[in-house]
């Protein structure tokens, strides 16, 4: 009989020539455990998903209780399911004015798809603007607005009418015109290697969109749900988008996403045509129950208040000569090394030493740091010590 590792390598579709191949037997809090009992500290949260830690008891309980009560009962938008309704209420309450309606989907890419369609329908325009080195997902529409030619190789043609701007560059704002349906942007960029938007740039972007009647879409799929130390990244900038995208960390480990907008915009999905956007599983009650439990845990344990101390630990400990630049916000960081082979060697050395880290889609010269928000200062300090040891050893020994 083949082992899970053999089955994985032989029958699970592969998307990389160098998968990490960490075998997981169970996960709890900030740790993953292999079948041999080896413990790994998770410094990346399954890429910004496990914000409340792995198998948070509150989330597990919510999932178990809701799964036993009812799972799928009807496609999106017909039946009243209390976990879905309560989650929509909780999110809109925390988001405040301008966010009355939540459309639940199953992933980040899907949230992006829904938002692009909605922006076209609402504005009656077809042009979409996005940013170089952005990432919005792997489906056709989301990939169309992703600014990464290498990721798109061989998959064209893409959506027509999509153009790209340079991030944090005020000069490019003039390209947003009366023809523009929407501008989609990550206020804190993830896969570009953690690049926060400049506050004055994001404000100018907002003003320009308002001026020409283009919708502003904030993709907070990676930087939302507490990741930057604020429940939603835009709240720290005091810039409000017209449509907000969430996913990843939202479900406490379960798959759920959302696009959120004001009533005036979202009402476009109701008629002409009726069922303007359709999803069988969107707003699945078990995933909504998990998301609600996760949100309550972030607030109940005041996890956001603890982020500045944790951020300080990352900044202090990474302040070594071998790290060329530290970029980040809250618990979303990149340690720039400057060389892919060294980054890969660092990642493998960390895995050997029981620490999970990673690189970025558009920035393979930096190491990713995005631990669960539940990590303690001592756990984080230990993890960063292991990372710094790996960085120093590899940079000294592997030629750039
Ligand atoms: N937007 C951003 C900013 C992301 O980081 C990601 C996932 N890395 C996505 C969209 C796509 O999300 P998903 O993989 O759930 O489709």
Mean pLDDT of 231-243: 97
Protein residue closest via CA to atom 12 of ligand 1: 108
- From 47, 111, 135, mutation site for ligand 1 pocket: most ligand atoms within 8 A of C-beta: 135
- Given a cut of 70, whether residue 253 has pLDDT beyond it is yes
- Please tell me the distance between residue 115's alpha carbon and the centre of ligand 1 in angstroms: 14
Alpha carbons 229 and 236: distance in angstroms, whole number? 9
* Closest ligand 1 atom to Cα of 257: 15
Task: Tell me the pTM.
Answer: 0.98
Cα(222) to centroid(ligand 1), Å: 7
Look up tokens 């940079």; give the residue.
Answer: 395
Is residue 219 within 8 A of residue 185, CB to CB? The reply is: yes
CA of residue 184 relative to chain centroid, distance: 14
Gap from CA of 313 to ligand 1 centroid (Å)? 27
Contacts with 70 (C-beta within 8 Å, 6 or more apart), sequence order = 81, 285
**Residue 98 pLDDT:** 93
* Residue 51 CA, ligand 1 centroid: distance in Å: 15
Ligand 1 centroid to residue 227 C-alpha, Å: 14
For residue 137, the ligand 1 atom closest to its alpha carbon is 11
- Percentage of the chain beyond pLDDT 70 is 99
- What Rg, from alpha-carbon coordinates, does the chain have? 21
* CA–CA dist 229, 231 (Å, integer): 7
For the stretch 255-299, pLDDT in tens is 999 999 999 999 999 999 999 999 999 999 999 999 999 999 999
The span from the CA of 215 to the CA of 44, in Å, is: 32
Task: State how far the Cα of 110 lies from the Cα of 256, in Å rounded to an integer.
Answer: 10
Stated length of the chain: 400
Confidence of residue 397 (pLDDT cuts 50, 70, 90): confident
Tell me the pLDDT band of 400, cut-offs 50, 70 and 90. low
Span from the CA of 111 to the centroid of ligand 1 (angstroms) = 9
Q: Is 274 exposed, middle or buried (0-12, 13-18, 19+ CB in 10 A)?
A: exposed
| pLDDT confidence of residue 158 | 98
The answer to whether 369 and 333 are in contact (CB under 8 A) is yes
User: Which residues lie closer than 8 Å to 250 by C-beta, 6 or more apart?
Assistant: 224, 225, 256, 257, 258, 291, 294
Q: In Å, what is the CA distance from 342 to each residue of 160, 185, 319, 388?
A: 39, 30, 18, 13
Best residue among 190, 279, 329 to mutate for probing ligand 1, ranked by most atoms within 8 Å of CB: 190
pLDDT value at position 235? 96
How remote is the CA of residue 108 from the centroid of ligand 1, in Å? 5
pLDDT of residue 99: 98
Taking the CB of residue 20, how many other CB atoms lie within 10 A of it? 12
C-alpha to C-alpha distance for 357 and 388, rounded to whole angstroms: 12
Q: CA 270 to CA 63: how far, in whole Å?
A: 30
Task: Tell me, in angstroms, the distance from the centre of ligand 1 to residue 185's CA.
Answer: 12
First to last CA, the chain: 42
Calculate the CA 347 to chain-centre distance.
21
pLDDT beyond 90 at 399: no
pLDDT band at 219 (very low <50, low <70, confident <90, very high): very high
pLDDT digits 0-9 by tens, 301-352 = 999 999 999 999 999 999 999 999 999 999 999 999 999 999 999 999 999 9
* Residues with a CB atom less than 6 Å from ligand 1: 47, 107-109, 112, 135-137, 186, 190-191, 219, 221-222, 247
**Protein residue with its CA nearest to atom 10 in ligand 1:** 136
Among left, alpha and beta (phi > 0; psi -120 to 50; other), residue 168 is left
- Average pLDDT along the chain: 97
Name the closest-CA residue to atom 1, ligand 1: 136
Cis before 241 (ω within 30): no
pLDDT tens figures, 88-141 = 999 999 999 999 999 999 999 999 999 999 999 999 999 999 999 999 999 999
Side-chain half-sphere of 98: how many Cα atoms within 13 Å? 11
Strand ordering across the sheet containing 332-336: 325-329, 332-336, 363-369, 358-360
Mean pLDDT, rounded, for 8-35 = 96
């Amino acid at each position: 009989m083949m082992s899970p590792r053999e089955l994985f390598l032989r029958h699970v579709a592969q998307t990389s020539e160098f998968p990490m191949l960490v075998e997981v037997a169970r996960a709890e809090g900030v740790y993953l455990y292999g079948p041999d009992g080896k413990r790994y500290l998770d410094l990346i949260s399954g890429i910004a998903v496990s914000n409340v830690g792995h198998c948070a008891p509150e989330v597990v309980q919510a999932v178990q209780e809701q799964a036993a009560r009812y799972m799928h009962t009807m496609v999106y938008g017909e039946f009243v399911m209390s976990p879905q309704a309560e989650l929509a209420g909780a999110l809109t309450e925390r988001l405040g004015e301008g966010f009355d309606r939540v459309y639940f989907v199953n992933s980040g890419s899907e949230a992006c798809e829904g938002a692009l369609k909605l922006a076209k329908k609402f504005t009656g325009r077809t042009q979409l603007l996005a940013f170089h080195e952005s990432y919005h997902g792997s489906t056709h529409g989301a990939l169309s607005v992703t600014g990464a030619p290498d990721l798109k190789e061989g998959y064209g043609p893409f959506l027509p009418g999509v153009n790209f701007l340079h991030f944090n560059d005020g000069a490019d704002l003039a390209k947003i015109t009366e023809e523009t349906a929407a501008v989609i942007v990550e206020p804190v960029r993830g896969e570009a290697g953690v690049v926060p938007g400049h506050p004055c740039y994001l404000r100018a972007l907002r003003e320009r969109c308002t001026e020409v009647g283009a919708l502003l879409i904030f993709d907070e799929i990676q930087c939302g749900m507490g990741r930057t130390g604020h429940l939603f990244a835009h709240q720290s900038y005091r810039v409000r988008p017209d449509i907000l995208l969430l996913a990843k960390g939202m479900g406490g480990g379960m798959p759920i996403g959302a696009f959120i907008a004001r009533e005036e915009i979202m009402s476009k999905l109701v008629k002409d045509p009726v069922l303007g956007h359709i999803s069988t599983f969107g707003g699945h009650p078990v995933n909504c129950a998990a998301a609600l439990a996760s949100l309550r845990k972030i607030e109940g344990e005041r996890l956001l208040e603890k982020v500045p101390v944790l951020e300080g630990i990352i900044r202090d400990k990474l302040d070594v000569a071998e790290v060329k630049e530290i970029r980040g916000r809250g618990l979303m960081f990149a340690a720039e090394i400057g060389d892919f082979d060294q980054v890969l060697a660092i990642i493998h050395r960390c895995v050997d030493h029981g620490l999970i880290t990673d690189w970025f889609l558009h920035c393979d010269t930096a190491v990713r740091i995005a631990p669960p928000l539940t990590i303690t200062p001592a756990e984080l300090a230990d993890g960063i010590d292991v990372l710094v040891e790996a960085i120093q050893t590899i940079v000294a020994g592997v030629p750039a």
